[in-house]
Amino acid sequence: MAEIRLAIVGLGKIAHDQHLPAVAATPGISVAAVASRNATLDGVPCFLTIEALLASGVEVDAVALCTPPMGRHRLAAAALRAGKHVLLEKPPGASVAEIAPLEALARDRGLTLFATWHSRFAPAVEPARALLAEAEIRSVRVNWKEDVRHWHPGQEWIWQPGGLGVFDPGINALSIVTRILPRPLFVTEAVLEFPGNRATPIAASLRLGDAAGLEVAVEFDWRQTGPQSWDIHVDTADGALVLSGGGRHLSRDGAILHDAPEREYTEIYHRFVALIGAGASEVDLAPLVHVADAFMLGERRVVAEFHW
Ligand code: NAP
């Protein structure tokens, strides 16, 4: 297969931190263009908008959308209509229902649509899934608590409608939980804490269940200073499994089972190249559905204003 010429759209934090190095480390794909209003990349043609890129005649085969979720549907639809494969950063959209038309467009045109969940590519996630497929699971606790000022400095879009607030990192935890647990989950309760001056929550507590009566307790908080927590505790009949570090480390009763370096985005680009080669798409909306349900079902509390 010829090398895939990729355009990056939205050259911000995640594009610089992860996409550019991961593409450079993946055989079969390279960056051929950029579309971003305020950023350029040396050595490739750069455009202000995706429309200008697609009209330019610069040859690209695929597009990675690294913009915030609001507006991503329009960008993805434009790319698919122009015959480009599309990789969506997480979350795949600003609403649940906007994804199905993209899947249909990709299917009709024989293109790949890849809705990525980077945390699912953390090294201990698949080993945890394999262990839990055989386990008697008693309860699950998720603690995803981080410092928004450190991880999202100055990003105003996270506080705007569609920006998801604390669910922007929280959806990563849900992407892991929905991958490692053996049965589909559903939200049963939610409490969302909104800063008085913001449109999205800074903290959330959720309860989820499944058809077998499992309870999953989830705590998301963006006000955590000091040590950060990205941990999933699973009590099983064979001991306490802890998936920590955002899916990087797995232990049972304190003994380390898996501990490998992180290469989430390199894995993502290997998968993208393989999906394009196979003429396949990969879209799982479960994490986004749970976030939407939390917004629908959740009790809203107003808490202290947030200022950078
Ligand atoms: P970011 O630093 O704000 O970058 C996004 C870029 O998109 C901006 O630099 C901007 O570039 C462009 N853009 C287009 N429309 C925009 C709008 N309405 N508001 C703001 N920027 C807009 O955000 P990011 O952290 O890279 O996150 C982008 C996506 O990646 C999000 O969906 C996020 O959940 C996901 N993600 C982020 C991280 C992380 O650690 N930051 C990790 C994993 C996934 P121009 O102004 O040049 O157009």
Query: For the chain, what are the domain ranges?
Result: 4-115, 123-260+292-303
Pocket test residue of 9, 14, 164 for ligand 1, highest count of atoms within 8 A of CB: 14
Question: Which residue's entry shows tokens 């960008």?
Answer: 75
Q: How far apart are the C-alpha atoms of 160 and 166, rounded to whole Å? A: 12
For the beta carbon of residue 91, count every other beta carbon within 10 angstroms.
Answer: 28
Residues sharing a CB contact under 8 Å with residue 155, sequence separation 6 or more, in sequence order: 13
Q: Over pLDDT 90: what percentage of the chain?
A: 99
Pocket flag, ligand 1, residue 107 (CB < 6 Å): no
Average pLDDT, the chain: 97
Of 199, 195, 217, nearest to 162 by C-alpha is 199
For the beta carbon of residue 168, count every other beta carbon within 10 angstroms.
Answer: 23
pLDDT of residue 239: 96
Instruction: Read off the pLDDT of each residue in 237-262 and give the average, rounded to a whole number.
Output: 96
- Report DSSP state, residue 2: P
Let me know if domain 123-260+292-303 sits in CATH 3.30.360.10. yes
pLDDT tens profile 88-111: 999 999 999 999 999 999 999 999
* CB-CB contact of 202 with 233 (8 Å): no
* CB-CB contact of 6 with 62 (8 Å): yes
pLDDT of residue 173: 98
Q: Which atom of ligand 1 is nearest to the CA of 69?
A: 32
Which of 13, 84, 90, 145 does the annotation list as catalytic? 90
pLDDT tens profile 255-286: 999 998 989 999 999 999 999 999 999 999 99
Q: 4-115 in CATH: which number?
A: 3.40.50.720
Distance 130 CA to ligand 1 centre (A): 33
Q: Is residue 292 scored above 90 in pLDDT?
A: yes
Concerning whether 90 is annotated as a catalytic residue, the answer is yes
For the beta carbon of residue 297, count every other beta carbon within 10 angstroms.
Answer: 16
pLDDT of residue 253: 97
Instruction: Read off the pLDDT of each residue in 146-168 and give the average, rounded to a whole number.
Output: 97
Q: Is residue 1 scored above 90 in pLDDT?
A: no
Query: Does the pTM exceed 0.85?
Result: yes
pLDDT tens profile 184-231: 999 999 999 999 999 999 999 999 999 999 999 999 999 999 999 999
Could you give the 3-state DSSP secondary structure of residue 197?
Answer: coil
Pocket flag, ligand 1, residue 265 (CB < 6 Å): no
pLDDT tens profile 12-34: 999 999 999 999 999 999 999 99
